[in-house]
Amino acid sequence: MARLSRIVFAGLLALAGASAHAGYAQLAPPPGFAPMPTASPARWGYAKAANEAWVNQTVRVNPSLNVGGQTIKVPASMKLAANAPRFAAAALFLNPQLRFALGVVSWLSAAKVIWDEASQQWMTKGDISSGYSLWSDPWSGQHIHSSPPCASWWPGSVFVQTSELTGQCRLSAGTLTTLNRTKNSNEEQSRPLTKEEYERKLAPEVFRPGTPSIMPDSVPNELPPGTPLPVEQPVINPSPGTNPQPQPYFVPQGDPVPNPNYDPNAAPSPQNQPYIIPGVRIVPSPTADEPWRVDVQPVNRPTPTKDPLTPDELNPQPDPNADPNSQPDPGAGDNPKPEEQQSLCEKHPEIVACQKLGTLGPAEPLKNTDKNLLINKDEGWGPSNGSCPAPRTINIASAGRSYELSFQPLCDFANGVRPIIIALAWLSATLSFVGIGRKS
């Protein structure tokens, strides 16, 4: 009886799952996922949780989905979009206290940006080498752009820098001339930066496509909590590797049940197994407007054993068919046939009507019990010596005649069938008493 109850419950669960979850569904995204401002090329952004981390500019998340009344977690990953460094720079511009973080220090140094504590402003990193880059001959005043500067004037001479602002052109016989270092008006000097200028220096690849990124990978983890950064389209159930692809997901819906299509005379195969695990196949099917959309397909995964699933086996499992766009493979046990080709039991193998009868257990001997019975004779309905009613007389005045209606023919018939009716009643009562008429 308990097994029958489990089968009935599995059948009802399969019917409910097929009607409620067949088709498209939306994963519940992680809390930090939201649309980005319309000015951003990337449509979506993500602010990582405290227990998450960006690794190689990618974060792992677990959106949820309700399947048959069970909330499951589906793995997913999101990669930073190409314009993420600009948003990271904007966050850093407003939070100069983060300039001491290890990755931020390296980023600011590569961009030649410093924080001026006195003026409380971000500034370009001016120094003597960038501000004074031209050498000139003090006698003629002519600027020398070649390097080394002396070779263009005196072949074979050697340039020796004697200080930050002076240098000499020397031969083996002695010094030829002394050069002075002068400012180059074409080079940028140390000055305050606007927010846009700051972003251009820290994220040059956003403004000049093809320019290498200078943002270290650790910077997104060093930004203030709750900072949203633009991300690419999420990858649902990503495959391993540097270029992950979305993969289907199998969610068991109960313990194995008998396979109505199992053929014990045929060779075992992935499809021909004595039991099946009812479940659903979650296939990633995102669009630009619905990045968390999935296609939920009721399927049954054949299995060789009826052993109840362990807690680990009841958890969602990667689907063997890693290509979400592939067509159903006849050899793959958890790929359903087209719906129009499925029979009732193929669509709902767990319902009671599709169950195969099992074998009876060992027979137990019945116990015999003696009972004393008392049977009282019953004369039936009415006295046995009843008499027939008197005839009825009908007078017709207009005709001047009278007619007599006799009940004697009916009484004779009743007296004739009375013994037969009583005998049948006794026989029926006897059969009911001894239980011969009951169904086994």
Q: What DSSP string describes 277-291? A: EEEEEEEE---SS-T
**Prediction pTM value:** 0.55
In a domain, 391, yes or no: no
In a domain, 73, yes or no: no
Q: How far is CA 150 from CA 136, 153, 164, 182, 373, in A?
A: 10, 6, 17, 16, 138
In a domain, 348, yes or no: yes
Whether residues 174 and 279 fall in one domain:
no
In a domain, 214, yes or no: yes
One-letter amino acid of 192? P
In a domain, 309, yes or no: yes
The residue segments making up the domain with residue 201 are: 84-126+188-231
Burial class of residue 159, CB neighbours in 10 A (0-12, 13-18, 19+): middle
Whether residues 247 and 283 fall in one domain:
yes
Whether residues 178 and 223 fall in one domain:
no
Token couple for 293: 């959309």
Whether residues 216 and 101 fall in one domain:
yes
Whether residues 204 and 118 fall in one domain:
yes
pLDDT at 221: 95
Whether residues 255 and 203 fall in one domain:
no
pLDDT at 222: 95
Whether residues 217 and 240 fall in one domain:
no
In a domain, 323, yes or no: yes
pLDDT at 305: 86
Under 8 Å between Cβ of 114 and 123: yes
* DSSP element (H, E) containing 47: none
Whether residues 313 and 207 fall in one domain:
no
What is the total count of domains within the chain? 3
Whether residues 347 and 278 fall in one domain:
yes
Over the stretch 25-76, which tens digit does the pLDDT of each residue have?
999 999 999 998 766 678 999 999 999 999 999 999 999 998 878 888 999 9
Whether residues 293 and 333 fall in one domain:
yes
Mean pLDDT by 10 residues, the chain (440 residues): 40 41 84 83 91 94 88 92 94 95 94 90 67 54 56 69 72 67 54 91 92 94 93 93 88 88 84 88 92 91 85 65 40 52 68 67 78 69 72 78 83 86 85 64
pLDDT at 382: 63
The CA distance from 260 to 354, in Å, is 7
In a domain, 339, yes or no: yes
Whether residues 198 and 276 fall in one domain:
no
In a domain, 36, yes or no: no
Under 8 Å between Cβ of 277 and 333: no
Whether residues 17 and 110 fall in one domain:
no
pLDDT at 6: 39
pLDDT at 264: 84
